[in-house]
Structure 1
Amino acid sequence: MAVDGNWNLTLNTPMGERTATLTLASSGSTLTGTQAADGDSAEIFDGSVNGDDVAWKVSITNPMPLTLEFTGKVSGDSISGDMGIGFMGSFPFTGTRA
């Protein structure tokens, strides 16, 4: 699938721009993988893929315990969309294939 592989993400957050790496694998409509930032890595969960549309969640502990909810679209070697940060709202993210 077009989404499979390694990605370098740029996240626009309330604390400024942050970077993360993302490894994705699709099987049918299920999306699995890992996301890493600031030396921490976590398995994604509730991942889905429908054509070029992707969605996943990841739980982080730094800078505070939160579940981030990503929804986006893959276009060739680019990915972009929104990252929901619970009570703080939604913020854009972009990425390129690593």
Structure 2
Amino acid sequence: MSADGDWKITTHTPRGDFDWFISIVTTGESFTGTLDIVEDKMTLDEGRIDGNELTWTSTMKKPRVLKFTARATVEGDEITGEFKMGMFGNRPFEGRRVGPAEEEPVSA
């Protein structure tokens, strides 16, 4: 399973659905990268790989400080998962691997 690359995901939040971008670079059973959302661009921290399962944390700094904990499953070029977003609860997402042409996050 290779999770390397850029992913466009749709995250379902209380404010509606948003298209966000994840970039992943794997190294053995760990990974680094970024989560690019409408308000902020965050690093993927504590990235762990177990088979086709990924887990990581990220910290949003604007418009407010909020720690995300994420779990995702990669199947080929598809990704599904869930963000635990502090007081905003658990928010599901799904998406696909994309090329470099799609760069900016936009609301859905």
Q: Per-residue deviation at 1:60?
A: 1.0
Q: Going by fraction, where is strand more abundant, 1 or 2?
A: 1
Whichever residue aligns with residue 64 of structure 1, its letter is: R
5+ residue gaps, structure 1: none
Aligned partner letter, 2:88: M
Give the RMSD, CA atoms, in angstroms: 1.4
2:65 maps to which residue? Answer: 65
Given that 2:39 and 2:62 are in contact with CA atoms closer than 8 Å, whether structure 1 keeps it comes out as no
* TM superposition score normalised by structure 2: 0.83
Pair 63,17 (structure 1): closer, same or farther in 2 beyond 3 Å: farther
Equivalent residue number for residue 84 of structure 1: 84
What residue number does 1:54 align with? Answer: 54
Whether contact under 8 Å (2:39, 2:63) holds in the other structure is: no
Higher deviation after alignment, 61-70 or 3-12: 61-70
Q: Give SS of 1:81's match.
A: strand
List structure 1 segments (4+ residues) > 6 angstroms apart after TM superposition.
Answer: none
Structure number with greater CO (CA < 8 Å, separation at least 6) is 2
2: CA distance, partners of 1:21 / 1:69? 16
How many equivalent pairs are there?
Answer: 98
State the one-letter code of the partner of 1:88.
F
What does residue 32 of structure 2 align with? 32
> Aligned-pair distance for 1:39?
5.8
TM-score when scaled to structure 1? 0.90
Letter in 2 for 1:22: I
- Corresponding residue SS for 1:38: coil
